[in-house]
Structure 1
């Protein structure tokens, strides 16, 4: 039986009071929102404060603490930018308070595209309102790429120099460590990526797992992005890889294939139209998008293969097995049919 995680609200209240956070001295309400093996999220209410608390679970690896600090740095740095994000309220690095480092962020009054039973009103019935959902999602990538990350104090968050030179060596080494089976198409996609680079590279903040699952929208139409969330893979790298990550499985014909993913894309623009939307909004060229989409498919296949190799009797991780094969085959197929040269 799974036990719902809890918090020591007395210790949390003491820390909040010492930190001078809103709601000082008042009673606290705490409720668990989500989490498990990944970070736990709780809703905190105290006086006029409504916040979300995010922390690693008690048994998580120590490296997860570094991820929490990384998330905090990013949302704190985004304050005052046009990027929709949660408000950074307070960070606690003292594990003696709640057992692990944690941070408080503003509670988003909005909705998530996943976890429900389809799109909420009016997007469930009004197909004419759905293009805005996709365009706002792409707009998030545009806005991230426009942030002056050095001015925001993120100069040491990642290593943008040589970012693309490291991708193939890093992930092939990772795959060699976890390899448990052959992945058809792996050699072909790896060779193609090793021989190519983007036409240009403008470093910026990248989310690392940018998709509908990691954003929230304001209620009602027209579609408006409320916040980009779950920054545990965030870094300073190439924001265009976020676009590639988003577009690599996006159908060209959403009328025919829009229901095949984890959210229904019916009524939304196709892949080419959204890539062109990004180009128009960002002013960036997109002639090298095949490179980013091959890289995204190839990298995601390797990441998910690790989960599959560790699946045991976990049905979710077991389901990664066929998805990995599909992604790697797709990476190899796109590499074989692309006319993108992008030679080093």
Structure 2
């Protein structure tokens, strides 16, 4: 079973690049790159950076680059992401090995980096063909998911050379004001809960509960599991938003993507996940397991979780803005306004009910 559900397709319209220049760059800079024709395909999942599988003879690599169109300042920083992988790879075995970073925009028009291709199973919105979800398998996958997050948060970021990678002091306050501003800068339509949420988040910023490396987008379809052992994580991808910050911020993001059978249909549609099927642990079970594996006392999480949904809504808003303006053409973006509205609504529900 190889990369089931990790869908590889032909390159989407408007997302191609100069393959001849890329090939020449690899011949010059990658010692094992053969002088043979290359084959390029694209990973279909994800709304953010564009990721490609590139084969040349018997060699396979993955190339990652920013999307097209106007981008928010400091977003989609390929050099930063590549540098992080270089620091993490020796101490955290779930990171793909980074090979090369290129900031010469004459090659394909944008900075990019190249990394190893991992093989395994990606769980996205449904179970891969041929896999039956037993209660035992669901528990194994759930434990692997949350245990690996706890392991990430236990890394000594200073010891591995990441002390200047982020600014943990004042992180949550900057996040609140920053994402509010991003929404206003990309607004396309009225969302009734936005002003109330912006005011509540600004007035209820919690104290930080520590500092650690956080992934900041930790979810099932950013991970790969072993095809031989579903309870073993092979890789974690998409580190573009990683930083040094409060680990509970990261925990809440992972919980916000974790669907349960009893979640509303709006929530399941806005953030679909295979975990909505019976057999996976509940969010409360994940919190208990995280506490056990991390050794941390868990604070009230409703601020963190409400903000996680709010932040995801704003990320979608930025993408939807690009689609409305015509700088992004992926048809998946055309209905994001519905998900934006639903996530803002659910965020507001959390701050009023204090539930997770």
TM-score, normalisation: structure 1 = 0.83
Q: Which residue of 1 aligns with 2:223?
A: 215
Cα deviation 1:40-59 (Å, max 9, x = unaligned) = 33334457643212223576
Q: Which residue of 2 aligns with 1:54?
A: 64
Q: Which residue of 2 aligns with 1:85?
A: 95
- CA distance in 2 between counterparts of 1:339 and 1:125 reads 28
The structure-2 alpha-carbon separation of the partners of 1:165 and 1:155, relative to structure 1 and needing over 3 Å to count, comes to same
- CA distance in 1 between counterparts of 2:73 and 2:94 reads 27
Conserved in 2, the CA contact under 8 Å of 1:217 and 1:223?
A: yes
Q: Which residue of 2 aligns with 1:27?
A: 36
The 3-state SS of whatever aligns with 1:130 is helix
**Aligned positions of 1:92-107 closer than 5 A:** 92-107=102-117
- CA distance in 2 between counterparts of 1:3 and 1:282 reads 44
- CA distance in 2 between counterparts of 1:31 and 1:61 reads 25
How far 1:89 moved relative to its partner? 1.5
- CA distance in 1 between counterparts of 2:110 and 2:313 reads 31
The structure-2 alpha-carbon separation of the partners of 1:310 and 1:23, relative to structure 1 and needing over 3 Å to count, comes to closer
The structure-2 alpha-carbon separation of the partners of 1:89 and 1:126, relative to structure 1 and needing over 3 Å to count, comes to same
Deviates more, 1:146-155 or 1:45-54: 45-54
- CA distance in 1 between counterparts of 2:79 and 2:238 reads 12
- CA distance in 2 between counterparts of 1:264 and 1:61 reads 30
Conserved in 2, the CA contact under 8 Å of 1:41 and 1:55?
A: yes
1:278 maps onto 2:290 in alignment: yes
Conserved in 1, the CA contact under 8 Å of 2:23 and 2:38?
A: no
Q: Which residue of 2 aligns with 1:316?
A: 332
1:5 maps onto 2:16 in alignment: yes
Q: Which residue of 1 aligns with 2:3?
A: none
The 3-state SS of whatever aligns with 1:95 is coil
Conserved in 1, the CA contact under 8 Å of 2:320 and 2:337?
A: yes
Q: Which residue of 2 aligns with 1:287?
A: 299
Conserved in 1, the CA contact under 8 Å of 2:259 and 2:268?
A: no
- CA distance in 2 between counterparts of 1:330 and 1:178 reads 20
1:224 maps onto 2:235 in alignment: no
- CA distance in 2 between counterparts of 1:339 and 1:97 reads 50
Deviates more, 1:154-163 or 1:249-258: 249-258
Q: Which residue of 2 aligns with 1:108?
A: 118
**Root mean square deviation of aligned Cα:** 3.4
Conserved in 1, the CA contact under 8 Å of 2:17 and 2:108?
A: no
Deviates more, 1:280-289 or 1:258-267: 258-267
How far 1:273 moved relative to its partner? 0.3
The correspondence for 2:353, drawn from 329, 337, 343, is: 337
The structure-2 alpha-carbon separation of the partners of 1:15 and 1:302, relative to structure 1 and needing over 3 Å to count, comes to closer
Cα deviation 1:164-213 (Å, max 9, x = unaligned) = 12222222222333334442333443343333344642222222222112
Conserved in 2, the CA contact under 8 Å of 1:83 and 1:140?
A: no
1:297 maps onto 2:309 in alignment: yes
The 3-state SS of whatever aligns with 2:274 is coil
Q: Which residue of 2 aligns with 1:135?
A: 143
- CA distance in 1 between counterparts of 2:220 and 2:47 reads 21
The structure-2 alpha-carbon separation of the partners of 1:311 and 1:56, relative to structure 1 and needing over 3 Å to count, comes to closer
The 3-state SS of whatever aligns with 1:171 is helix
Gaps of 5+ in 2: 1-11
